[in-house]
Amino acid sequence: MNATPMQVVMITSTSQYQDNMNPTQQIGALIRMRRKERRMTHQQLAEASGISRSTIANIEDGRHHSKLDTLSAIAKALDTELVIALK
* Signed CA dihedral, 2, 62, 70, 83: sign only: positive
The model carries a pTM of 0.76
Q: What is the pLDDT of residues 38-70, one digit of tens each?
A: 999 999 999 999 999 999 999 999 998 889 999
Radius of gyration (C-alpha) of the chain in whole angstroms: 12
Residue 4 CA to residue 41 CA, distance in Å, equals 18
Pairing of strands 80-84, 7-11: parallel
> Contact, 80 vs 5, CB < 8 A?
no
Considering only the top CATH level, what class is 22-84? mainly alpha
- Reduced to 3 states, what is the DSSP secondary structure of residue 22? coil
What confidence score (pLDDT) does residue 15 get? 45
Residue 84 pLDDT level (bands cut at 50, 70, 90): confident
Q: Where are the domains of the chain?
A: 22-84
